[in-house]
Chains A and B, each alone.
Chain A
């Protein structure tokens, strides 16, 4: 074993699926310490391995499954992995997280990351274990839902294998197709289409070794402490009702996006509320591997099926499309799981199409807000790329450009990524967070809504405080997504950076402190920005859709929620200043050198 820190193997395995060859990419101690793992290390790998300007769906485009030093330890919620590639939806850097046994088995195959590049002529799967990598034919799996492909492959290979698979949407290159494992999805940005473009149905991994930590007793003690804290009130929401608890609360505070963001409250919200649905529909509560929170709430669907229910899928397939029938929304969610579709982008694109259809901009008289059958038909057509679905499979940005005219101003995306369920006019720290984030409109990489909902500032105002909040939450996300720890655990950390540094130090043996991890956060955020810059990013991409800057929302209190272009410009400028960027959003040479990023600068 070479001299590597605890929690690491010091290498990534690069598999060229074109010919099945594999090579090791050594990851030195400095690189690991600078980028940690997960999203951070994945960003580094994309800088190293993705050809500049590569088409996201071209054979040369790499896709990385990236693990982290904490994976495989008893630290709660640490069994997570990042999938990182250039997004076919945004054409910018994209990372998406998923959880559970794939993370542990993948890392214990003896690699800190698995990178797939090249393309097959026929449907195939990639297998990685202690014997290295090989590529096998998988024509029989092509066309299956991800869960079914996963089950069949494990049946064939054996239960020690863990599988990440794509669904039919990924095979058909839907630009917001997911990569799925055990029913969970690395959901955003279309990474399933990247695998689909390589005709790789699944990646299967099997543990072959162990990965020692530097201080096992410290890790064990920290794990016990963290586990105990994870049972407390900071995670009660996730345990008791899951994230769907947001829906009724967000409706009460006018931040529930409705009918393609034409409103921020939805009359049908009570019909979709977790408080009531849980009593009538809940059939199980599950956890990821190594998790003591147990946030997964499984509801029964019409016809005897089951669906994992989260706020984001219910918001996107419910209020955003004007649908209040829980049977329709849960069936739509189940359909997205089967097809392997990101529910947020699917709902966002369909909601855009519904508004276009109602305004006569596209010829689809069957597609109307509130029609659950139309929603399901649209999903099926997207998954099959038939009829209108072939256009909608491109996402709202490309589809609106194709339709032309007013349609573009109705598309609610940032950098091509459809907005999550947070209304930016009533959450204005979130507004700037979504505008500037490298992944596009996103709540997991920029959780500035936390500041809006904490009461520390006026959420209907926008200024330096909001920009500062966007920076703080973006930095925290960068570290959590690289360690990797689940964000549902974030409330248990009173002083996050030093506490995270202590965990990382116990695993790796590094003498790392909170200040270093803060610098690491900045490095990762800027590394993402640098990647986008080399792929053609300009300052104009750090912006919000027209609708939010032209239309005012009226609140129950009598106040109006308005976000003017001038205010947004001011917040973005304040964000740039807070990040040490120039007026064009670019980092300076000294800053890059201090962070060791100058070698990545285009």
Chain B
């Protein structure tokens, strides 16, 4: 069983935004592709997107699962129930995110998931004076409690928090994590986009600052030298373009020395290190 799963709720009506938020573009990828990628990287377990019945979704990474709300438009508890049911038996904890969080940082996700100890059922960030139930970690065994609330038509997350043990994480607690303090000092991870001006403001922000290194023949092909190059890029394709590198079949990338990827839409976050290598690495 994985330590943590990720659940991304994409089934909201986006009525104030006027267009489905999952498909909104941010620095080269859709919000849904970005959020699922960030959550996947930070949790390591199964990733489930909860959509409205029949809802069209933009392209996502291989391995992301999709499930549907039983009914459309009943709010986040309905999505939470569908997501928890989808990961039931495969993870003890699930990080739950909305899809409209372009600045969600993996360090924030890790901090929240890591805060959920054996004494609590929910790790709930409190930032900007508000709780953020759609940037929180839930014990997956809460599924029956959530289903009971839905059956009783008690559809607000606050009702769930009345019935379980909640670890509230204030700003100081969140920023006590050095990585969060370094890469998300304003706790922008909890920023949601509800209306068009919110989206425009988010788009006006620069893409995350990341360091790019190239190795071997790839270094010669690109504009990179021996030292890392700091660029603004929200995706792998953006990072490659920033060093004049064609991201073709002969190149792969490693994020922070970890997973190897060649997906141009792989999301990047502030502080990431991207290493571009020859695809035929090895002897």
Contact = CB atoms under 8 A, between A and B. Distances in A.
Given A453-B282, A455-B259, A559-B258, A252 B226 contact: no
A249 B215 CA distance: 6
Contact of B283 (A234, A420, A556): A420
A487 B257 CA distance: 26
B257 A275 contact: no
A459 B260 contact: yes
A253 B257 contact: yes
Nearest to B276: A249
B99 to A, nearest CB: 24
B283 A443 contact: yes
A537 interface: no
B275 A253 contact: yes
Interface in B127-154: none
Contact of B259 (A233, A248, A459): A459
A453 to B, nearest CB: 5
Contacts of B47: none
Interface stretch (B14-22, B199-207, B247-255): B247-255
Given A234-B280, A236-B250, A556-B256, A248 B215 contact: yes
24 contacts: A236-B221, A240-B220, A241-B216, A241-B217, A246-B281, A246-B283, A249-B215, A249-B275, A249-B277, A252-B275, A254-B258, A422-B282, A443-B282, A447-B282, A450-B280, A453-B277, A454-B262, A455-B252, A455-B259, A459-B260, A491-B279, A556-B257, A556-B258, A557-B255
Given A275-B216, A459-B259, 7 more contacts: A245-B217, A253-B260, A422-B282, A449-B281, A453-B260, A455-B261, A557-B255
A555 B260 CA distance: 13
A450 B278 CA distance: 11
Contact of A246 (B226, B250, B257, B282): B282
A597 B280 CA distance: 34
A274 B220 CA distance: 12
Given A236-B250, A240-B220, A556-B256, A245 B215 contact: yes
B168 interface: no
Interface string A253-286: 1100000000000000000001110000000000
B37 to A, nearest CB: 13
B164 to A, nearest CB: 28
Nearest to B263: A455
Nearest to B219: A275
B213 interface: yes
Interface in A220-245: 233-234, 236-237, 240-241, 243, 245
B89 interface: no
Contact of A276 (B226, B273, B275): B226
Interface in A448-485: 449-450, 452-455, 458-460
B34 interface: no
A279 B12 CA distance: 58
A252 B110 contact: no
Contacts of A443: 282-283
Given A237-B217, A245-B217, A557 B282 contact: no
Given A237-B216, A241-B216, A252-B275, A450 B226 contact: no
A453 B256 contact: no
Interface in B90-133: 110
Interface residues of A, number: 44
B30 to A, nearest CB: 21
B44 interface: yes
A558 B110 contact: yes
Given A252-B275, A558-B110, A453 B258 contact: no
Q: How many interface residues does chain B have, given as a range? A: 20 to 34
A401 to B, nearest CB: 29
Interface in A110-151: none
A95 interface: no
Nearest to A242: B216
A556 to B, nearest CB: 4
A459 B215 CA distance: 20
Contacts of B226: 275-276
A556 B179 CA distance: 12
Contacts of B279: 453-454, 491
A237 B257 contact: no
B219 to A, nearest CB: 6
Contacts of A311: 283
B217 A240 contact: yes
A240 B218 CA distance: 10
A444 interface: yes
B280 A275 contact: no
Contacts of A556: 256-258, 273
Contact of A249 (B220, B248, B278): B278
B283 A253 contact: no
Nearest to B225: A275
Q: 6 smallest A-B Cβ distances: which pairs?
A: A245-B216, A557-B258, A557-B256, A455-B260, A249-B215, A556-B257
A312 interface: yes
B259 A450 contact: no
Q: Among B110, B220, B258, B283, find the residue whose CB has the most chain A CB atoms closer than 10 A.
A: B283
Interface string A293-310: 000000000000000001
Contact of B262 (A248, A450, A455, A490): A455
Contacts of A420: 283
Contact of A233 (B250, B262, B275): B250
A236 B217 contact: yes
Nearest to A250: B281
A344 to B, nearest CB: 10
A464 to B, nearest CB: 14
Nearest to A421: B283
Nearest to B253: A455
Q: Among B213, B216, B254, B261, find the residue whose CB has the most chain A CB atoms closer than 10 A.
A: B216
Nearest to B248: A233
Contacts of B220: 240
A245 B278 contact: yes
B282 A253 contact: no
Q: Among B219, B248, B261, B280, find the residue whose CB has the most chain A CB atoms closer than 10 A.
A: B280
A233 B245 CA distance: 13
A267 B215 CA distance: 16
A458 B262 CA distance: 13
Contacts of B275: 249, 252-253
B256 A234 contact: no
A454 B283 contact: no
Nearest to A245: B216
A454 B257 contact: no
Contacts of A236: 217, 221, 250, 278
Contacts of A249: 215-216, 275, 277-278, 281
A246 B261 CA distance: 17
A248 B216 contact: yes
Contacts of B259: 455, 458-460, 557
Contacts of A421: 283
B258 A444 contact: no
A128 to B, nearest CB: 31
A186 to B, nearest CB: 15
A159 B250 CA distance: 41
Interface string A421-451: 1100000000000000000000110010110
Nearest to A310: B283
